[in-house]
Amino acid sequence: MKKNLRIVAVDDDEVMLLLIEELCKNLGYYIQTFLNPMEALEFIKFEGADIVLVDYMMPNLDGIEMIKTIHQFDPNIICVMITAFGESYEIKVKALEAGATEFLGKPFDPIEFQVRIKNLAKIKEAHNVLKNFNKRLIEEVRKATKTIQEREKEALILLGKAAECKDTITGVHIVRMAHYSKLLAEKIGLNKKKQLILFYASTLHDIGKLAIPDNILLKPGQLTPEEWELMKKHTIVGYQMLKDCKNPYLRVGAIIALSHHERWDGTGYPYGLKGENIPLYGRIVALADVFDALTSERPYKKAWKFEDAMEFIEKGKGKHFDPELVEAFLASEKEIFEIFSRYALDEQEKDIKFGFSFNSVKLI
């Protein structure tokens, strides 16, 4: 038996079924026969079929309705309508509209029947080969796409790391900040796709610092008014670097770079945007960035205690930060502390575990 091809025959005439079964078996094909169309549908639904031979006139369910139901299970099943000679043209049109591929007239010539079945089997076998090829192709494309996406994400982390390397900030800062940002996005109801985009795009918030001279960026003392004005331009520079990119991570990165120093009350920079005029991604990263800056040690300051930084965020509600985000942040204190603790490593551990290779750091 050619077990790789399954034929199902449905007819309320037992003699006709015996004839069909014998002819198919002589061709070497596996066949399952049914007198009851409902039993046949149950079988096809759970076991599948390649070719179904359906009588038009049957009790409970006619052949046209049965073909429609079969194609709801699998539109690729080949259906053959068996009709008595003299059946109306209208019935054949309806059968074709329902999805019938071929017709067989009763009584049929055994030789003609076998030729037609062999031809239909070749068509189905070719279709199965193509279907399997398409499945393999889709899988290969999926794997290739996943590899490209992972490389894109790694490149984003490296870009963010490049900006931090110019500053006095450690690379772990962008890892913690990315986690804080993603957590906030989740808490306010953004979908998983937007959470993931924000997670990676947030690492680009300070990419514009690559254009800031080291004597300003690394100055240990207070900046002059002129130096401060130049420093603030890193937001615009970062936006200009990323705004024309087609990659969704980079496009969102551009928005974040431009807006993460804006403040809810309008006292931020570069444009003094206020309230919801500040892009949501920028508002989220603004809070995450400030919190991590407070709890991180810098050459010019010691790290704040976790509790003190949380209190600062609370005091900034409606002033520096979006009130809704502050509420979500404070309500997530336990999860924030878990992120804070997980990545609070000494310098040696940072070098080992946060080299920003996807093989060495678990970012999600």
Give tens-digit pLDDT for 40-60. 999 999 988 999 999 988 878
* Predicted confidence (pLDDT) at residue 357 exceeds the cutoff of 50: no
* Predicted confidence (pLDDT) at residue 141 exceeds the cutoff of 70: no
How confident is the model at residue 155, as a pLDDT?
63
Q: What average pLDDT does the structure give for the chain?
A: 83
How confident is the model at residue 360, as a pLDDT?
33
**Mean pLDDT to the nearest integer, 224-252:** 89
How confident is the model at residue 363, as a pLDDT?
35
Most trustworthy range by pLDDT among 128-142, 223-237, 273-287: 273-287
CATH numbers and ranges of domains, the chain: 2-108 (3.40.50.2300), 151-353 (1.10.3210.10)
User: Poorest-confidence range of 10-19, 162-171, 172-181, 182-191?
Assistant: 162-171
- Residue 300 burial by Cβ neighbours in a 10 Å radius (0-12, 13-18, 19+): exposed
| The Cα angle at residue 339 between residues 260 and 186, in degrees rounded to 5 | 60
- Is 21 in contact with 9 (CB distance < 8 Å)? yes
- Residue 230 burial by Cβ neighbours in a 10 Å radius (0-12, 13-18, 19+): middle
How confident is the model at residue 112, as a pLDDT?
85
* Predicted confidence (pLDDT) at residue 262 exceeds the cutoff of 90: yes
**Mean pLDDT to the nearest integer, 251-261:** 94
At residue 346 the predicted structure's pLDDT band, cuts being 50, 70 and 90, is very low
- Residue 73 burial by Cβ neighbours in a 10 Å radius (0-12, 13-18, 19+): middle
Q: Which two tokens stand for residue 15?
A: 């003699």
Handedness of CA 144, 148, 153, 155 (dihedral sign): positive
CA distance 336 to 342: 10
CA distance 118 to 124: 10
Q: Which residue has the higher pLDDT, 89 or 312?
A: 312
Q: Dihedral through CA 187, CA 188, CA 190, CA 191, nearest 10?
A: 40
Looking at the chain, which runs of residues are DSSP E strands?
A: 2-10, 29-34, 51-55, 78-84, 100-106
CA distance 285 to 260: 6
Give tens-digit pLDDT for 203-213. 889 888 888 88
How confident is the model at residue 28, as a pLDDT?
87
* Predicted confidence (pLDDT) at residue 169 exceeds the cutoff of 60: no
Residue that has been written with the tokens 């002819």 in this structure: 23
CA distance 139 to 136: 5
How confident is the model at residue 184, as a pLDDT?
97
How confident is the model at residue 156, as a pLDDT?
64
| The Cα angle at residue 351 between residues 345 and 355, in degrees rounded to 5 | 110
- Is 295 in contact with 303 (CB distance < 8 Å)? yes
Q: What is the pTM of this model?
A: 0.56
How confident is the model at residue 42, as a pLDDT?
92
How confident is the model at residue 242, as a pLDDT?
86
User: Poorest-confidence range of 88-92, 231-235, 298-302?
Assistant: 298-302
At residue 332 the predicted structure's pLDDT band, cuts being 50, 70 and 90, is very high
How confident is the model at residue 96, as a pLDDT?
84
**Mean pLDDT to the nearest integer, 289-307:** 86
Q: What is the 3-state secondary structure (H, E, C) of 137-204?
A: HHHHHHHHHHHHHHHHHHHHHHHHHHHHHHCCCCCHHHHHHHHHHHHHHHHCCCCHHHHHHHHHHHHH
Whether the ω angle into residue 213 lies within 30 degrees of 0, i.e. cis, is no
Q: Which residue has the higher pLDDT, 181 or 174?
A: 181
- Is 102 in contact with 81 (CB distance < 8 Å)? yes
Q: What is the 8-class DSSP label of residue 321? A: B
- Is 184 in contact with 328 (CB distance < 8 Å)? yes
CA distance 304 to 291: 10
How many CB atoms are closer than 10 A to CB 356?
Answer: 18
- Is 153 in contact with 198 (CB distance < 8 Å)? no
CA distances from 195 to 149, 238, 252, 268 (A): 16, 21, 11, 25
Q: Dihedral through CA 163, CA 165, CA 167, CA 168, nearest 10?
A: 150
Q: Which residue has the higher pLDDT, 303 or 142?
A: 303
